[in-house]
Amino acid sequence: MIITVGNTKGGVGKTTLAVQLAIYRALAGRDVWLIDGDRQGTAAAAIAARAEAGRVPGIACAQYADGAALRGQVQQQRDKWQDIIIDAGGRDSTALRAALVLSDVLLVPFAPRSYDVWALEDMAALVDEARSVRDGLCCFAVLNQADPGERSTDNAEAAAAVADVPQFEYLSTPIRRRKAFSNAGGAGLAVCELSPRDPKAIAEMEELAAHVFNIKTTV
């Protein structure tokens, strides 16, 4: 499966979620390739920190900020991996457009702020373009950096706004602002690898991964 975590709006936590999902899948025994599609290279830096610390499993990571290079490398190597996760930069870039055409799933994080919700319209237009080239792109929007309160008005209003963008399915699994995510991301760790553990952060990531990867859970 090829998954792109992307948004034309910066600062919505794309890299955090891409790194978390990549490690989550590797911990589940999958062969995972994480692609950093941003010139800033934040995802690659996180994985480098993980490697330097000797954490296992190791995560294969490459950086391709140019769309042609990203497309060519994925087309050549896609059969070597069970999951490819692409962290696309926070802008309308050639890398983001290439990733959309290649992907099975697009995950769009957005924050509970009006201008972040408005940016979904830009992503919707790119989704329409990608779908005109290939069928089958499944698109999810997830509220990231959500307010900690379970009954936050901002969170509810942001979630409701997604209903006006039919290209996306809203995932009712918000990722809230928690220190565990920033601590884990900087060290190239999944939140479940942190000590002390944050059960709420772990549960949120597990729910998100279950939806994105279509993992059936039993009660």
Per-residue pLDDT tens digits of the chain, which is 219 residues long: 999 999 998 888 999 999 999 999 999 999 999 999 999 999 999 999 999 999 999 999 999 999 999 999 999 999 999 999 999 977 899 999 999 999 999 999 988 766 667 778 899 999 999 999 988 999 999 999 887 766 667 677 777 878 889 999 999 889 999 999 999 998 999 999 999 999 999 999 999 999 999 864 433
Question: Looking at the whole model, is its pTM more than 0.85?
Answer: yes
Closest by alpha carbon to 79, among 31, 18, 22, 13? Answer: 31
Closest by alpha carbon to 50, among 79, 27, 81? Answer: 27
User: Tokens 């890398």 sit at which residue?
Assistant: 95
What interhelical angle do 153-162 and 114-133 show, nearest 10?
A: 20
CATH class for domain 2-212?
alpha beta
Which residue intervals of the chain are DSSP H helices?
Answer: 14-27, 42-52, 67-77, 94-102, 114-133, 153-162, 179-187, 199-212
